[in-house]
């Protein structure tokens, strides 16, 4: 009897512990700590082999010559040696993330003014002398001469980007549970007209080397806490901003990167289920960028991005709209009586089976090889194009129609002889081609819209056909539009979703509408 009671007690205790653990785990999933840098410890130094213009050390005031010169990407302080860096850490304050002050004041940094700086007081050119002289505010980016600065009022209105910035007196911090890190606890609403703060998400370790300098530029013009590097933090953490902001504030999320990064952020937004989704704007880096093109943000920036121009002229003028996202469900065929696990992912650009995916797959493999030069967009493009025209690849996807059954809205479709089947959500495919409207049948093709709940399906006869499409000399074989799609694959074939390729094993692929993402569209 005692034994039984003991066992029951143990059972209850065990269940209790398991429940506590499950509750804790699920809670942790719901909320992500939003980290903030402790600016009291020093600056956020970026080491640069070379400055794009003559810069003077903020400590010893000499012209920075050596390759160990560094600048703080948040506040713009420069230093020329480890000693001066250490001294600047101690004596010069960095751009604060938070303050208890009621009014926001200018934060003047001496020297190294932006080009074409003009004095706020006397309106003459400022910062033109070849020495550490004159001042600029690292928040509003206004400038003043050494002699004029005393005539400027203390209060800083954050300048022309004030609607994008989270002022430091709106942010409240707390210590993390282990008391190691600073976390953002609360965001108060500032008195700024049409305030719609911007959160920037990028990955400095992504394929394109531009991301690092773009994120640095954003730290320079915004509150540095508004910039989240996916190399250090998950996208869910960046989205914690949206939870902290009042629900009637429109939060804008800029994704600085390729379509893959944008998709990653969309997935995170969908997963965490916010009361109100942020509006996603794209700042395209690297190659491809088909989504960015259809949203009007262009094909991709080179190394130096004018982020002020981007925020003011591109983002602020873009309009909110919806983008369909599709659920792609993979059910593998039984293999030796064992069914492999079902896989699911989301698609917002396109998917394809066959030679088109093979081009992407080979491109992908090349990109991972050590001989591949990462950073050069032109070379990326050349490789893409070369693989697109190689005859050798054609054979792998020959007579794909024999291995493929296609159902559009549950209707079986008779397939012509083909080497690739492409399903579009957006108008751009293969780095800027708009296949749906190409050729003589283009004007009569049903209208394409990325928020109409419809997919466009077409096939390609060969990789030569792709090459012809890329230069606008051909026309796709249009199979029509549908709101759901089923593919039954009887042999292995290369496949890609949103440009991510792999070798797909036999099975069934089901594509259905999942949800819509909130995005910003530039006309």
For strands 334-335 and 319-332, give the pairing: unpaired
Q: Which residues contact 436 (CB under 8 A, 6 or more apart)?
A: 424, 427, 442, 445, 448, 456, 458, 476, 478
Q: Is 156 in the site for Zn ion (CB under 5 A)?
A: yes
Q: Which of 70, 80, 135, 305 binds Zn ion (CB under 5 A)?
A: 80
Q: At its nearest, how many Å lie between Zn ion and the CB of residue 180?
A: 21
- For ligand NAG, the binding residue among 33, 42, 163, 296 (CB under 6 A) is 42
The interface region with Zn ion, picked from 6-14, 56-64, 181-189, 203-211 by CB under 5 A, is: 56-64
Check residue 446 for interaction with ligand NAG (CB under 6 A): no
Q: Give me the least distance between CB of 41 and ligand NAG, in Å please.
A: 3
* Nearest distance, CB of residue 69 and ligand NAG, angstroms: 14
Looking at the Cβ atoms of 106 and 293, the one nearer to Zn ion is 106
Using CB under 6 A, which of 82, 234, 446, 472 touches ligand NAG?
82
* 140 is an interface residue for Zn ion by CB under 5 A: yes
Q: Directed axis angle between helix 377-388 and helix 355-368, to 10°?
A: 140
Position 406 contacts Zn ion (CB under 5 A): no
Q: Min. distance of Cβ 75 from Zn ion in angstroms?
A: 3
507, 332 contact by CB (below 8 A):
yes
* Residue nearer to Zn ion on the CB measure, 138 or 265: 138
Q: Does 93 sit near ligand NAG (CB under 6 A)?
A: no
CB neighbour list of residue 236: distance below 8 Å, 6 or more residues apart: 32, 268, 271, 272
Beta bridge partners of 338: 335
For the CB of residue 72, give the shortest distance to ligand NAG in the complex, in Å. 9
**Of the candidate residues 22, 86, 379, 382, the single one contacting ligand NAG (CB under 6 A):** 86
Number of residues located near Zn ion, criterion CB under 5 A: 20
86, interface contact from ligand NAG, Zn ion, none, CB < 5-8 Å by kind: ligand NAG
Our finding on whether 89 is near ligand NAG (CB under 6 A) is: yes
Residue 60 found at the interface with ligand NAG (CB under 6 A): no
Query: Is residue 163 a contact partner of residue 193, using CB atoms and an 8 Å limit?
Result: yes
Nearest to 429 by CA among 514, 369, 492, 347: 347
Q: Which residue number, 72 or 521, has a Cβ lying nearer to ligand NAG?
A: 72
What's the min distance (Å) between Cβ of 164 and Zn ion? 15
Q: How far is the CB of 68 from ligand NAG (least distance, A)?
A: 11
Q: Which H or E run contains 243?
A: helix 235-244
Tokens linked to 245: 């902001």
Taking the least distance from each CB to Zn ion, the nearer of 57 and 495 is: 57
Buried b (16+ CB within 10 A) or exposed e, 452-474: eebbbbbbbbbbbbbbbbbeeeb
H or E element, residue 218: helix 210-221
Nearer to Zn ion, 124 or 335 (CB): 124
Q: Which two tokens stand for residue 106?
A: 């200018």
H or E, element range at 383:
helix 377-388
Q: Which helix (H) or strand (E) holds 422?
A: strand 420-424
The phi and psi torsions of 69 (rounded to 5 degrees) equal -65, 150
Name the token pair of 243: 């939870």
- Does 474 engage in binding with ligand NAG (CB under 6 A)? no
| Closest to 350 in 3D by CA, of 298, 268, 442, 420 | 420
Q: Which helix (H) or strand (E) holds 280?
A: strand 279-284
Q: Is 75 in the site for Zn ion (CB under 5 A)?
A: yes
**CA-CA-CA-CA dihedral for 42, 43, 46, 51, to nearest 10:** -130
Task: Name which of ligand NAG, Zn ion, none residue 84 binds, using a CB cut-off of 5 to 8 Å depending on partner kind.
Answer: Zn ion
> Rule CB under 6 A: which residues touch ligand NAG?
41-43, 82, 85-86, 89
> Rule CB under 5 A: which residues touch Zn ion?
43, 57, 59-60, 72, 74-75, 80, 84, 94, 106, 119, 121-122, 137, 139-140, 145, 148, 156
């Amino acid at each position: 009897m005692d034994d039984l009671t003991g066992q029951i007690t143990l059972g209850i205790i065990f269940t209790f512990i398991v429940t506590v653990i499950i509750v804790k785990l699920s809670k942790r999933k719901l909320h992500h700590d939003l980290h903030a840098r402790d600016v009291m410890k020093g600056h956020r130094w970026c080491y640069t082999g070379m400055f794009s213009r003559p810069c003077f050390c903020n400590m010893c005031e000499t012209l920075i010559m050596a390759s160990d010169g560094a600048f703080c990407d948040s506040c713009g302080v420069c230093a020329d040696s480890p000693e001066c860096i250490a001294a600047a850490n101690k004596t010069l304050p960095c751009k604060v993330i938070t303050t208890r002050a009621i009014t926001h004041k200018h934060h003047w940094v001496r020297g190294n003014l932006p080009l074409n700086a003009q004095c706020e007081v006397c309106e003459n050119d400022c910062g033109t002398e070849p020495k550490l002289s004159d001042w600029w505010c690292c928040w509003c980016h206004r400038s003043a001469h050494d002699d004029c600065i005393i005539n400027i009022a203390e209060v800083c209105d954050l300048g022309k980007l004030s609607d994008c910035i989270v002022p430091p007196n709106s942010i409240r911090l707390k210590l993390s549970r282990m008391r190691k890190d600073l976390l953002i606890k609360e965001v108060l609403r500032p008195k700024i007209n049409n305030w719609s703060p911007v959160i920037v998400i990028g990955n400095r370790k992504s394929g394109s080397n531009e991301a690092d300098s773009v994120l640095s530029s954003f730290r320079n013009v915004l509150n540095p806490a508004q910039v989240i590097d996916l190399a250090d933090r998950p996208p869910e953490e960046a989205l914690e901003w949206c939870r902290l902001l009042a629900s009637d504030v429109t939060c804008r999320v800029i994704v600085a990167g390729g379509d893959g990064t944008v998709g990653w952020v969309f997935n995170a937004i969908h997963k965490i289920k916010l009361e109100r989704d942020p509006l996603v704007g794209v700042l395209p880096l690297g190659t491809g960028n088909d989504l960015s093109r259809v949203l009007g943000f262009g094909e991709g920036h080179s190394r130096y991005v004018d982020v002020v121009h981007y925020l003011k002229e591109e983002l602020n003028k873009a309009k909110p709209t919806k983008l369909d996202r599709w659920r792609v469900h993979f059910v593998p065929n039984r293999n030796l009586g064992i069914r492999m696990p079902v896989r699911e992912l989301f698609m917002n650009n396109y998917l394809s089976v066959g030679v088109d995916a093979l081009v992407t797959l080979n491109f992908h493999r090349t990109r991972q090889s050590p001989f591949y030069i990462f950073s050069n967009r032109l070379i990326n493009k050349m490789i893409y194009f070369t693989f697109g025209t190689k005859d050798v690849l054609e054979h792998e996807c020959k007579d794909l129609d024999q291995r493929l059954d296609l159902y559009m809205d549950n209707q079986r479709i008779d397939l012509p002889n083909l080497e690739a089947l492409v399903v579009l959500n957006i108008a751009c495919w293969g780095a800027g081609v708009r296949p749906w409207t190409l050729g003589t049948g283009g004007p009569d093709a049903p209208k394409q819209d990325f928020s109409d709940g419809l997919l466009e399906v077409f096939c390609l006869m060969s990789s030569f056909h792709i090459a012809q499409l890329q230069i606008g000399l051909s026309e796709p074989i249009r199979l029509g539009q549908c709101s759901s799609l089923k593919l039954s694959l009887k042999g292995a074939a290369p496949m890609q979703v949103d440009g991510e390729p792999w070798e797909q094993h036999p099975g069934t692929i089901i594509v259905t509408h999942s949800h819509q993402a909130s995005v910003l569209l530039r006309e």
